[in-house]
Structure 1
Amino acid sequence: MAGFRIRGDRPIDLRVIPHPAVTVALDFGDRPFDIRGAAGRMRSESLAAGLGFRAFQVCVEGADCVQIRLSPLVAHPVLGLPLAELRGSVVALDDLWGRAVPRLRERLHRARTWPERFALIDTELMTRFRAGPGVDPEVAWAWRRIVAGHGQTRVSELAGLLGWSRQRTWSRFGSQTGLTPKRAAMLVRFDRAVHRLVRGDAPAQVAVDSGYADQSHLHHDVRAFSGTTPAGAAHEPWLAADDRAWPARGGTEWPSTVRG
């Protein structure tokens, strides 16, 4: 979870890069996000981006915002729907939570400190998590195994290890996370690789360590997920990456606080 402010004398464009989590953002300063992606354009003071979304642009003239990343194991009950229904799309959170969103935004606006705002979000998420539909233990196990293996898990073996047929594994995993096990592994592997690029590691070494056949395969995945080259991704001040990718800019106040 991250809380941040953006201040500037002109609109700022940010590219939101896919992450192995569902991304949720709420602005509580009455400045809507101008969101532009493959599905078109929308303006909203809240958003929810499904697991494995395609990179999209967000233009802001200023923001007071809380950003949340939800594991698909948590997002399924919190959002209240199977992630297959959201897939890689970007929607207004209001479309999923209804009138609860403007009420939450108002409470965030009235809160005086970031810890207060984080506590409000924690309460909302926990309430929804307890009331929502759970994820199959087998799907949760498969997801955790893919993450623990940094996306290099042999997904062809998952069904056998679970004791499920391949068809049942792919069907249940896909309906509850919005991705096939293979696509999930690709996303997790990309995420680890791109964070190493941000740290300044050489693309050739990143490709080897991340399990890519060669550097061209790394280049292909980075382009497919982020819409830019490895060199471009290493310097992209995107909204959905970690603190290393939140550079200082003249006239802009980047996140006041970040909480894991």
Structure 2
Amino acid sequence: MRAAEPARSGLPSWDIAVPSEPSRLPGVLMAGFSDRANDLAEVALVPHPAVTVLFDLGDNPLVVEDSAGRRQRARIVAGLAPGGVRGRGLAGSMECLQVRLSPLAAHAALGASAELGGTVAALDDVWGRDAERTQERLRAAGSWEERFAVAETALARRLDAGRVVDPEVAFVWQQMVVARGRVRVERLASEVGWSRKRLWTRFRSQIGLTPKRAAQLVRFDHAAHRLAAGQSAASVAADGGYVDQSHLHRDVVAFAGVTPAAVAGAPFLAVDEVAWAAGSTAFAG
């Protein structure tokens, strides 16, 4: 287990566990978070170009609330770009396993890509009884390594039996990730030999967002991490493909619901280098 203590004052300090070996499953990253000091009352989840699955393993349920005030507990799926999502800690220690799935992996493992775009849902509604069985095994595990193995086994079973994304859709998504969102969707449609309308329809049904929105999300993710690294909004806008700083500001507010300055201080971004050392390229798979 690695401990992460954000350098900026006022941020919570978590113990973070990461697998000793990279996952054998493409497009899958996992990390465990513990807050035994209970200094986490509430934290905003910054939108990310991955579908997030949370297994709550603490003393009391972690509550995740979306922008409409709907709440989910215990086993939670956060789809692509669900703005305004907040995690609320309750009395007692906080402990959870977080799994990040690329949209390609999520299509196979979760199945309901279009329905999960921009939403927060109960994993039980997607996996049925298997969601509860998986959490029971996670709670029974004696170490984080055992928990990672349990989660990987459950995901592998789902991935093997799941639906495969169209090769054309996978290619377009991979190009978005490699180019950090700075792509022309019409050109990508031409490259795969599809009409714009066909790409929009197939991509939306399998990834959960339109191609344009997905590219914007990937670009936003890189901008958010650069802001968190201490770069100025002006330089991030100039280097990130935004027309100007106002364009960056509008994009950040549209995705995260807060200003670039607030995103720069987001707790989860402060520990990303520890929790997700494999980097965003993992989400091309």
Using structure 2 for the length normalisation, give the TM-score.
0.82
Structure 2 residue corresponding to 1:159, chosen from 177, 186, 189: 189
Residue 103, structure 1, aligned to residue 168, structure 2: no
Give every structure 1 segment of 4 or more consecutive aligned residues whose post-TM-superposition deviation is greater than 4 Å.
257-260
Residue 65, structure 1, aligned to residue 93, structure 2: no
Distance 1:204 1:165 in 2: 36
Q: Is contact 2:51–2:80 with CA below 8 Å preserved after alignment?
A: yes
Unaligned runs of 5+ in 1: 247-256
Higher mean alpha-carbon deviation, 91-100 vs 33-42, is at 33-42
- Tell me what 2:42 maps to: 13
Give the deviation of 1:180 after TM superposition. Answer: 0.8
Higher mean alpha-carbon deviation, 219-228 vs 70-79, is at 219-228
Distance 1:153 1:116 in 2: 40
Using structure 1 for the length normalisation, give the TM-score.
0.90
Give the deviation of 1:33 after TM superposition. Answer: 2.1
Residue 42, structure 1, aligned to residue 68, structure 2: no
Distance 2:38 2:151 in 1: 30
177 and 258 in structure 1: CA distance in 2 versus 1, 3 angstrom threshold = closer
The percentage of counterpart residues that share the same residue type is 50
Distance 1:258 1:182 in 2: 25
Q: Deviations over 1:10-41 (max 9, x none)?
A: 66101011000001100123521222222323
Residue 243, structure 1, aligned to residue 271, structure 2: yes
Q: Is contact 1:32–1:46 with CA below 8 Å preserved after alignment?
A: no
Report the residue type matching 2:222 in the other structure: R
- Tell me what 2:6 maps to: none
Q: Matches of residues 1-260 of structure 1 in structure 2 within 5 Å? A: 1-9=30-38, 12-61=41-90, 62-81=93-112, 83-238=113-268, 241=269, 243-244=271-272, 260=278
Report the residue type matching 1:233 in the other structure: V
Distance 1:245 1:235 in 2: 14
Name the structure, 1 or 2, with higher relative contact order (CA <8 Å, separation 6+).
1
Q: Is contact 2:66–2:82 with CA below 8 Å preserved after alignment?
A: no
Report the residue type matching 1:76 in the other structure: H
Give the deviation of 1:46 after TM superposition. Answer: 1.2
Report the residue type matching 1:215 in the other structure: Q
Q: Is contact 1:236–1:245 with CA below 8 Å preserved after alignment?
A: no
Distance 2:277 2:270 in 1: 11
Q: Is contact 1:32–1:43 with CA below 8 Å preserved after alignment?
A: no
Aligned residues: 247
